Amino acid sequence: MAISGWVERLKQGLARTAQIFNVRSWFGRKVDQSFLDELEGRLIQADVGVAATRRVIERVRSAYSDQTADENLLAFVKSEITTLLDDPGKSTLAIAPKGPSVYLIAGINGSGKTTSIAKIAQHLKNQGRTILLAACDTFRAAAADQLSVWAARAGCEIVRGSPGADPASVAHDACQRALAREVDILIVDTAGRLHTQTHLMRELEKIRNVLGRLIPGAPHEVLLVLDGTIGQNAIRQAEVFTKSIHCTGLILTKLDGTAKGGVVVAVRQTMNLPVKFIGVGEGLEDLQPFDAATFVESLFS
Ligand SMILES: Nc1nc2c(ncn2[C@@H]2O[C@H](COP(=O)(O)OP(=O)(O)OP(=O)(O)O)[C@@H](O)[C@H]2O)c(=O)[nH]1
Ligand SMILES: [Mg+2]
């Protein structure tokens, strides 16, 4: 899809957050304490987080005190937030130098793992890569069916186990198939779990270990899918998941369903993990690689 099409989707998706910022109301006002308090309130309301908000406010205070808020101030705020988000070169997915690249996808129930996998598979397929999906969510029979439907739609193969099978054994079979078929990318779907469910977190570690044993360097990415509508809670989840399975990046979904799209900044700031993809809708084209500048532009549009 054309870049401009995605930017429009992103703007539409982030419209509720952009309303919070309401930048038109800034222009022509004097940058005094009451202006800064209001800006601070808006940043907090959009879930940008306390640390990032404080930093932006202090930077605006020292650069713009007693001046008139205008386009330059807006550009300054945007560039401050972009700096907090930018991970040059890190928003792309790691590719193994040789053999299949393996991406393990994890997150709590309903965060958007399976549909994000479908969207990423489509995205990579459009780049000419061959893809295999592993349905390691054997907890619900419907989960593998859901992934099968997406696999058929994206035109890629899937490995699934019988209902209730050990997810690690499905991962094992999927690795063997990926090696035998010489696919470029293996994407592993897992059942949703709470970061507090120790036995399920261990199951995830087991899947991770199996991948690493069968394919050198795997998993090349461990992506944590976070539901953007749950706000600051997402950060606590992310912290525990990261400790347990060493996440390498984040996918933030459902940013269209919230006025708290600023949570991307808060999560990025707290976690020190790059944001790889963001989702702003249910369509196949509604998940795209994250670009800090485009995101911030849409946040304030
Ligand atoms: N509006 C919106 N909906 C989304 C987005 N991403 C996912 N969804 C919806 O969220 C719901 C749950 O998505 P799934 O992909 O099934 O979530 P999951 O994490 O695999 O769920 P479990 O396997 O049950 O843990 C579905 O209805 C998706 O269409 C998004 O970016 N925006
Ligand atoms: Mg799922």
94 falls within a domain: no
268 falls within a domain: yes
Predicted model pTM:
0.93
76 falls within a domain: yes
d(CA 40, CA 50): 9
Instruction: Say if residue 47 is in the same domain as residue 183.
Output: no
> What domain range is 204 assigned to?
101-290
301 falls within a domain: no
Q: What is the pLDDT of residue 1?
A: 47
Secondary structure (H, E, C), 34-70: HHHHHHHHHHHHCCCCHHHHHHHHHHHHHHHCCCECC
300 falls within a domain: no
Read off the amino acid at residue 114. Answer: T
Instruction: Say if residue 155 is in the same domain as residue 275.
Output: yes
92 falls within a domain: no
How far does the centroid of ligand 1 lie from the alpha carbon of residue 225, in Å? 10
Nearest-CA neighbor of 158 among 131, 180, 181? 131
Instruction: Say if residue 10 is in the same domain as residue 151.
Output: no
Ligand 1 contact, 257 CB (< 6 A): yes
pLDDT average per 10 residues of sequence, the chain (301 residues): 74 92 91 97 94 96 95 96 87 92 96 95 93 94 91 92 93 98 97 89 95 97 93 82 89 91 91 92 89 93 87
Instruction: Say if residue 161 is in the same domain as residue 281.
Output: yes
Structure tokens given for 92:
């792309």
49 falls within a domain: yes
* Total domains present in the chain: 2
Instruction: Say if residue 152 is in the same domain as residue 58.
Output: no
Atom of ligand 1 at shortest distance to CA of 279?
31
Instruction: Say if residue 239 is in the same domain as residue 148.
Output: yes
Instruction: Say if residue 73 is in the same domain as residue 117.
Output: no
Instruction: Say if residue 110 is in the same domain as residue 77.
Output: no
DSSP per residue, 262-296:
THHHHHHHHH---EEEEE-SSSGGGEEE--HHHHH
Instruction: Say if residue 55 is in the same domain as residue 140.
Output: no
- Write down which residue in 85, 110, 141 finishes a domain: 85
Ligand 1 contact, 281 CB (< 6 A): yes
Instruction: Say if residue 144 is in the same domain as residue 266.
Output: yes
Instruction: Say if residue 178 is in the same domain as residue 236.
Output: yes
How far does the centroid of ligand 1 lie from the alpha carbon of residue 113, in Å? 7
